[in-house]
């Protein structure tokens, strides 16, 4: 793989003979390349070469097999992280490594998880990734309202950098998206020098970090390659002086929902990518989040989705489901759930409030993963607003999927 950055900054890349058009992201999802260029706007034209290298890697990793050649020298430490993590030869080498900056920014999407992470660090600036069209790829997804999400982010009153990018259009199928989950951070990486960043906080919660929500569906994942600090991505970001931080990595989506709805940012919470005046209420994500919200608020499900709706079909199938722990949490808590679209799911689980109460507390090792500089603030927030899991509850996490 050969990577070039030009004014814009624009990233272009050329595949080497051993590279492949259909690759695999770190979550094992197969993805097909659509176009070999993208632009990242709202960032300075100059940053440490390791930041350019990691930003590029979040886009080109799935298609790279053996080596990557950057257009500027990287540090030996960064080359080593690429080699250790992916078995990739990276170069040229010749730069001093970047020292971590002093600040933590939040990669802010506006969803409940992201808002909860932001609430734990009231002083942290936001970096918001906004999708824009690619000049050479037709937009067949006009319902995706990135403008609405960016507007909501602007109304939070936080220090905000909006990064605009068409990098999601480098994917051909099944729809535009991040080549790697970490591509959402491409702009934040290029802003890291200007914002003096030493860490970047993501809204990934316990399901994504510890319960294998995604690649390891249904399995405890202490060594999650995407989000563990000692995983390959964690080490790569750290080598560029921007630690991956998961402020809500130890709590479930029930907790992030409760924290987000009780936060000063409550009015700006939005997980639906479709609605303009509010969430659309009829997409699969709205339905899933409504289950969680109803459970947290201990009220009946309020949704226009009926059992005949296409998005309800998923709940006629057998488990496992993505976010299964939250499905169980909702089944145990939402009054009248048997008469809703989730009714059929009850046949597969025997759940009670007691058996799902571990989802209301924080898994302590998640706090231990937060770099020391930012740990105390998270720990005191958790102590005051969530509470730590008991040993018995910790066991529920660590035996998940067995
Ligand atoms: Zn929706």
For ligand 1, the distance from its centroid to the CA atom of residue 280, given in whole angstroms, is 4
Report the distance separating Cα 196 and Cα 102, nearest Å: 6
pLDDT of residue 25: 85
pTM of this structure? 0.96
Say if residue 100's pLDDT is above 90.
yes
Mean pLDDT of 124-141: 93
For ligand 1, the distance from its centroid to the CA atom of residue 276, given in whole angstroms, is 10
pLDDT of residue 172: 87
140 versus 81: the higher-pLDDT residue is: 81
pLDDT of residue 217: 67
Helices vs. strands in the chain: H and E counts, helices first: 13, 13
pLDDT of residue 48: 98
Q: Is the peptide bond before 134 cis (omega within 30 degrees of 0)?
A: no
pLDDT of residue 373: 98
Mean pLDDT of 371-394: 98
For ligand 1, the distance from its centroid to the CA atom of residue 284, given in whole angstroms, is 7
pLDDT of residue 292: 98
pLDDT of residue 186: 98
pLDDT of residue 30: 85
For ligand 1, the distance from its centroid to the CA atom of residue 388, given in whole angstroms, is 32
Confidence of residue 276 (pLDDT cuts 50, 70, 90): confident
Q: Is the peptide bond before 213 cis (omega within 30 degrees of 0)?
A: no
pLDDT of residue 26: 82
Largest CA distance in the chain: 64
306-326 core/surface letters (b: 16 or more CB in 10 A; e: else): eeeeebbeebeeeeebebbbb
Mean pLDDT of all residues belonging to the chain: 95
Residue 198, number of CB atoms within 10 A of its CB: 22
pLDDT of residue 132: 95
Say if residue 174's pLDDT is above 90.
no
pLDDT of residue 374: 98
Instruction: Give me the phi and psi of 31, to 5 degrees please.
Output: -135, 145
Which residue matches tokens 């720990």? 379
For ligand 1, the distance from its centroid to the CA atom of residue 33, given in whole angstroms, is 28
For ligand 1, the distance from its centroid to the CA atom of residue 265, given in whole angstroms, is 19
For ligand 1, the distance from its centroid to the CA atom of residue 272, given in whole angstroms, is 4
Nearest alpha-carbon partner for 153 in 185, 115, 188: 115
pLDDT in tens, 48-75: 999 999 999 999 999 999 999 999 999 9
Say if residue 8's pLDDT is above 70.
yes
For ligand 1, the distance from its centroid to the CA atom of residue 143, given in whole angstroms, is 10
Lowest-pLDDT choice from 76-80, 215-219, 372-376: 215-219
For ligand 1, the distance from its centroid to the CA atom of residue 291, given in whole angstroms, is 13
For ligand 1, the distance from its centroid to the CA atom of residue 27, given in whole angstroms, is 24
Give the torsion sign (CA, 45, 240, 231, 188). Answer: negative
pLDDT in tens, 9-21: 999 999 999 998 9
pLDDT of residue 141: 80
- Looking at the chain, the whole-number percentage of residues with pLDDT higher than 90 is 90
Mean pLDDT of 121-137: 96
- Looking at the chain, the whole-number percentage of residues with pLDDT higher than 70 is 99
Report the distance separating Cα 127 and Cα 191, nearest Å: 9
276 versus 67: the higher-pLDDT residue is: 67
pLDDT of residue 322: 87
Q: Based on C-alpha coordinates, what's the Rg of the chain?
A: 21
Report the distance separating Cα 307 and Cα 287, nearest Å: 12
For ligand 1, the distance from its centroid to the CA atom of residue 53, given in whole angstroms, is 35
For ligand 1, the distance from its centroid to the CA atom of residue 279, given in whole angstroms, is 5
pLDDT of residue 398: 97
The vertex-352 CA angle with 346 and 355, nearest 5°, equals 120
Say if residue 340's pLDDT is above 90.
yes
For ligand 1, the distance from its centroid to the CA atom of residue 363, given in whole angstroms, is 30
Report the distance separating Cα 273 and Cα 282, nearest Å: 11
pLDDT in tens, 200-253: 999 999 999 999 976 666 799 999 999 999 999 999 999 999 999 999 999 999
pLDDT of residue 24: 87
């Amino acid at each position: 793989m050969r990577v070039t950055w030009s004014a814009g900054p624009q990233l272009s890349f050329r595949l080497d003979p051993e590279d492949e058009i259909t690759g695999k992201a770190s979550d094992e999802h197969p993805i097909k390349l659509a176009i070999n260029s993208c632009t990242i706007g709202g960032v300075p034209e100059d940053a440490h070469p390791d930041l350019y290298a990691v930003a590029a890697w979040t886009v080109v990793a799935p298609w790279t097999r053996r080596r990557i050649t950057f257009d500027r020298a990287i540090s030996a430490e960064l080359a080593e992280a690429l080699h250790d993590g992916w078995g990739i030869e990276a170069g040229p080498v010749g730069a001093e490594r970047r020292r971590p900056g002093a600040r933590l920014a939040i990669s802010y999407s506006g969803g409940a998880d992201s808002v909860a992470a932001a609430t734990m660090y009231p002083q942290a600036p936001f970096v918001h990734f906004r999708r824009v069209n690619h000049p050479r790829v037709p937009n067949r997804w006009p319902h995706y309202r990135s403008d609405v999400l960016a507007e909501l982010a602007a109304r939070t009153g936080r220090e905000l950098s909006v990064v605009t990018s068409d990098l999601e259009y480098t994917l051909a199928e099944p729809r535009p998206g991040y080549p790697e989950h970490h591509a959402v951070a491409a702009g934040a990486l290029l802003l890291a020098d200007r914002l003096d960043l030493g860490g970047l906080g993501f809204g990934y919660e316990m399901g994504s970090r510890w319960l294998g929500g995604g690649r390891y569906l249904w399995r405890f994942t202490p060594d999650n390659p995407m989000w563990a600090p000692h995983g390959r991505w964690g080490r790569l970001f750290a080598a560029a002086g921007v630690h991956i931080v998961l402020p809500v990595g130890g709590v479930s989506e029930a907790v992030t929902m409760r924290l987000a709805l009780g936060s000063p940012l409550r009015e700006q919470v939005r997980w639906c990518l479709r609605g303009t005046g509010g969430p659309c209420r009829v997409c699969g994500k709205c339905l899933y989040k409504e289950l969680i919200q109803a459970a947290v608020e201990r009220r009946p499900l309020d949704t226009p989705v009926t059992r005949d709706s296409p998005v309800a079909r998923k709940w006629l199938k057998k488990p496992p489901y993505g976010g299964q722990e939250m499905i169980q949490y909702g089944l145990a808590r939402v009054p009248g759930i048997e008469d809703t679209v989730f009714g059929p799911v009850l046949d597969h689980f025997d759940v009670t409030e007691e058996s799902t109460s571990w989802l209301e507390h924080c898994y302590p090792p998640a706090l231990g993963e937060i770099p020391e500089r930012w740990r105390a603030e998270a720990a005191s927030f958790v102590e005051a607003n969530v509470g730590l899991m008991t040993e018995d509850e910790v066991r529920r996490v660590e035996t998940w999927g067995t």
